[in-house]
């Protein structure tokens, strides 16, 4: 399955589809709605994508690849202490959610809508992203910075970060850096 290609038009269509999937949900979004949002005829959509499932897979692939790029860059550019790496991952995750919101939100909430072939094709990207988190959490656990079961700590942290898409206001008083700092302070039981 070749989900992504480098066509600028296809990338733009994928970006527009992500926005519509976030607004309407994958199940309620029709091919006609996608074509209208993209400013093309329904039939023209199939010059770029095989079907709606391929569009969903392209959106999720783009969002997950972007999350990986941002997370890896954050880890490379931070101080290599466990606390700095935890802070960098939290900040990178929030940056991904709050700046490339649509594609990443679709990846979070519509993953279950992927057909098995697409899910199998894309699981390596999701696994690579989760492996970055697990490594950082393992380092923090080993250093005694945080305590608990790695699986549960990972799920609690990711759940807290992912939920920000529901309540965070970019025009509000706190920046994504502030949120990352607060989260790390809470899980390390240190004052913010």
Separation in Å, CA 159 to CA 66, 94, 149: 19, 12, 15
The number of beta carbons lying within 10 Å of the beta carbon of residue 93 is 28
Q: Give the span between the Cα atoms of 49 and 44, in whole angstroms.
A: 9
> 132, 43, 29, 118: which is closest to 89 by C-alpha?
132
Q: What is the pLDDT of residues 93-125, one digit of tens each?
A: 998 887 767 888 898 889 999 999 999 999 999
Instruction: State the pLDDT confidence band at 2, using cuts at 50, 70 and 90.
Output: very low
Q: Give the span between the Cα atoms of 128 and 166, in whole angstroms.
A: 25
Question: Which residue is listed with tokens 């990972």?
Answer: 154
Percent of the chain with pLDDT over 90: 59
Q: What angle do CA 122, 127, 129 make, to 5 degrees?
A: 105
Q: Give the span between the Cα atoms of 119 and 77, in whole angstroms.
A: 31
User: Do the Cβ atoms of 143 and 57 come closer than 8 Å?
Assistant: no
> Where do the domains of the chain lie, and which CATH numbers do they carry?
8-187 (1.10.357.10)
The pLDDT assigned to 6 comes to 66
Instruction: Tell me the longest C-alpha to C-alpha distance in the chain.
Output: 58
Q: Give the span between the Cα atoms of 97 and 75, in whole angstroms.
A: 17
- pTM (2 decimals)? 0.85
Q: What is the pLDDT of residues 16-75, one digit of tens each?
A: 899 999 999 999 999 889 888 888 888 888 888 999 999 999 999 999 999 999 999 999
């Amino acid at each position: 399955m070749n989900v992504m290609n480098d066509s600028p038009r296809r990338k733009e269509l994928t970006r527009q589809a992500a926005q519509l999937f976030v607004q309407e949900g994958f199940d309620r979004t029709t091919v006609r709605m996608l074509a209208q949002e993209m400013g093309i005829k329904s039939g023209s959509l199939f010059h770029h994508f095989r079907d709606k499932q391929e569009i969903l897979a392209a959106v999720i692939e783009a969002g997950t690849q972007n999350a990986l790029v941002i997370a890896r860059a954050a880890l490379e550019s931070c101080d290599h202490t466990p606390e700095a790496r935890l802070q960098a991952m939290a900040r990178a995750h929030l940056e991904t959610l709050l700046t490339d919101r649509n594609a990443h939100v679709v990846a979070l909430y519509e993953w279950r809508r992927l057909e098995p072939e697409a899910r199998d094709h894309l699981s390596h990207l999701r696994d690579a992203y989760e492996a970055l988190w697990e490594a950082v959490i393992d380092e923090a656990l080993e250093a005694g910075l945080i305590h608990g079961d790695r699986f549960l700590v990972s799920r609690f942290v990711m759940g807290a970060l992912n939920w920000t898409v529901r309540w965070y206001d970019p025009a509000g008083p706190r920046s994504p850096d502030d949120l990352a700092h607060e989260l790390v302070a809470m899980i390390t039981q240190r004052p913010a």
